[in-house]
Amino acid sequence: MNKKKCPRCGSPITKRNGTRNGVQLYKCQACGRQFRAGEKLSDEHLWYLYQERKQTIAEIAQDYDVSVSTIKRQLRHICVEWEQPDLHGMSGYVHLDATYWGHNWGVLLALDEATTKPLYVAFIKSERTEDYCLAVRKIEGNGYHIRGVILDGKISVFHSLSQYPRQMCHFHMKQLIIRKLTKHPKIKASMALLLLINDLPKLTQEQFRKAYEDLQIEYADTIKRRSSAKDGSTHYTHRKLRGALKSINTFLPYLFTYQRHDCVGMPNTNNKIEGVFTDLSKNLNNHSGLIEENRKRFISGFFLALEGNLHIKNSSKREPTAAEH
């Protein structure tokens, strides 16, 4: 039996409750709301079902006895755009990262460490340093005091944000090294380096530097070994190992910022923002095949709901312009 869902609370626990003018009435046993079959679905509740409850268009259409095209048309008129929140009086550590859909666009997100609320959202075509700098300026311009930033690997961003304490994400540092050495390296120097990186979160800055220097001394011959090519030229034999060492040297100044006395409470990973991106991807996966415009609208709604400032507007109900009178 196809149970009617309550248009107020979405509960499927409803029962027939008589008729009026030949139209079947229903009563929600969860909230007590009485409603008619085929009652119009509000934009707010439609968006709630579509995004928060992860229902497909077909499921919503079936539940409310309307066609799929009717639900699509109503969704098309819903306007959801990200609006930068007022951040006056707030301060803390900021996670900054970007994620992509396809090769030519993605979203740049800034997240407050303490509350996990979005501080800044922007759609980008590529991950440029100036996009990160703009995000920081906007956040501060809206009244937020940045105590430090947590980043994940674009060295030019670290240099451009030199006025703030910067922490390199330990998880991404480990991934950079694995990309060079693989998870199961064959040579002893690479094995030792991978073990050291795995211990990164457990070590102090002094302990890591000492172990890192000792490793380079112990395996100096392996690191510096060169091989001859057929044309008589030479090259380093273990170039991937040297590449891994170069990556560590590049980010070493930013691996232990969280241990500074003025950075108490700063995390050493970007896991919090990665978790938000994972939730977003799961939500989007329920609505495969979205065109770019609809995907961006869905993403804006997701972050507005996360920030607690979601307001639904209907583009079909806008005021006419002077030219349209």
**Alpha helix segments (H runs only) across the chain:** 43-47, 57-63, 68-76, 129-141, 155-160, 170-181, 188-198, 205-218, 220-224, 239-251, 271-285, 292-307
Look at the chain and report how many structural domains it folds into: 2
For residue 280, give both structure tokens.
Answer: 């977003």
Kindly report whether the global pTM for this prediction surpasses the value 0.85. Answer: no
Domain range enclosing 150: 84-168+269-306
* Mean pLDDT computed over every residue of the chain: 86
How confident is residue 306, by pLDDT bands cut at 50, 70 and 90?
confident
**Alpha helix segments (H runs only) across 49-100:** 57-63, 68-76
What does the pLDDT look like over 52-85, one tens digit per residue?
777 788 887 777 767 888 887 877 777 667 778 8
**307 close to 118: Cβ distance less than 8 angstroms:** yes
User: Does one domain contain both 147 and 283?
Assistant: yes
**CA–CA separation, 167 vs 145, rounded Å?**
17
Give residue 102's region: left, alpha or beta (phi > 0; psi -120 to 50). Answer: left
Bridge partner residues of 110 (DSSP): 96, 120
CA distances from 126 to 26, 106, 129, 212, 276 (A): 51, 7, 10, 34, 20
- The CATH code of the domain that includes 279 is 3.30.420.10
Exposure letters 13-23 (e unless 16+ CB within 10 A, then b): ebeeeeeeeee
Asked if the structure places residue 102 within a domain, the reply is yes
**CA–CA separation, 20 vs 36, rounded Å?**
9
For residue 127, give both structure tokens.
Answer: 């991950």
**CA–CA separation, 254 vs 121, rounded Å?**
25
- Say whether pLDDT at 1 is over 80: no
User: Does one domain contain both 157 and 277?
Assistant: yes
User: Does one domain contain both 281 and 155?
Assistant: yes
Length of the chain measured in residues: 325
Asked if the structure places residue 77 within a domain, the reply is no
What does the pLDDT look like over 243-290, one tens digit per residue?
999 999 999 999 999 999 999 999 999 999 999 999 888 888 877 777
Confidence (pLDDT) at 303: 86
User: Does one domain contain both 208 and 187?
Assistant: yes
What does the pLDDT look like over 123-147, one tens digit per residue?
999 889 999 999 999 999 999 999 9
For residue 47, give both structure tokens.
Answer: 């968006």
Confidence (pLDDT) at 257: 97
